[in-house]
Amino acid sequence: MKLRINGEIRKFDYSIETVAMLLKTLKINPKFVAVELNGEVVYKEDFETKKLNDGDKLEIVSFVGGG
């Protein structure tokens, strides 16, 4: 499965079903993380159910220092 994540193409040998599984695969703690899938915000309560498809574009963001 091919996904575009934060501007980079990533290839996975197996299909990743949901946003929650993707975060687990990438070892990302969902606590202060937001996900945008194909331009739309995915809410935390939908992480387990939101399905991913080959070629999907994702932005995974979180908080950093700022003024």
Partner 1 sequence: MSGEDNLKPLKIAGKEIKSRLFVGTGKFPSPNIMAEALDESGADIVTVALRRVSFDQPDPTLSAIDFERYIVLPNTSGAKDAEEALRLARLARAASGINWVKLEVTPDPVYLLPDPVETLKAAEKLVKEGFVVLPYIHADPILAKRLEDVGCATVMPLAAPIGSARGLKTEEFIKIIIDQANVPVVVDAGIGLPSHAAKAIELGADAVLVNTAIASAENPVKMAKAFRIAVESAVLALEAGPIEEQDKASASSPLTGFLD
Q: Which residues contact partner 1 by CB under 8 A?
A: 6-7, 26, 28, 32-36, 41-44, 59-67
> Closer CB to partner 1, residue 6 or residue 15?
6
Q: How far is CA 50 from CA 7, 19, 31, 63, 65, in A?
A: 20, 6, 17, 23, 29
Contacts of 60 (CB under 8 A, 6+ apart): 5, 6, 23, 26, 28, 33, 34, 35
Give least dist CB 28 to partner 1, A: 6
Give least dist CB 60 to partner 1, A: 5
Give least dist CB 44 to partner 1, A: 7
